[in-house]
Structure 1
């Protein structure tokens, strides 16, 4: 699986894992796992993308290598 850019984008926003988790409505453990490259459900991806302040159309910026 391609490495995602969640950690890079989160850190660029000066956001903690806990803050991203709270905004996305997921657990900090989930954020940690995703940042380490674990697979996640599409619904979780959507929550993370939106919590990072990006529109869903920019999914590739966060989770590259999707269904192009």
Structure 2
């Protein structure tokens, strides 16, 4: 199943190569390539990529837009 993400667009806007992002995120270039093509990845890998792109974890939906990356909404009583 393909996931929508903005990894490639953000990486290119920052003038970063796949190899540079992979090094900063401590993953392989093949992992970056698969993610940019919309393949699934582990939550830990998403976390590494978000931080390597210079974002905060709270900004995850700007990068990974699939429904699995958003936390469930809290009931109004808990907010």
Q: Distance between the aligned counterparts of 1:59 and 1:23, measured in 2? A: 17
In the superposition, the TM-score normalised over structure 2's length comes to 0.81
Aligned length: 68
- Asked if structure 1 preserves the Cα contact closer than 8 Å seen for 2:3 and 2:39, the reply is no
**RMSD over equivalenced CA pairs, Å:** 1.1
Residue 3 of structure 1: how far off its partner (Å) = 1.3
Runs of at least 5 residues in structure 2 that lack an aligned partner in the other structure: 72-79
Residue 67 of structure 1: how far off its partner (Å) = 2.6
CA deviation map 1:10-68 (0-9, x unaligned): 00000000000000000000000000000000000000000000000000010013335
Q: Which runs of 4+ in 1 moved over 2 A?
A: 65-68
Q: Which has the higher contact order (CA 8 A, sep 6+)?
A: 1
- Asked if structure 1 preserves the Cα contact closer than 8 Å seen for 2:18 and 2:32, the reply is yes
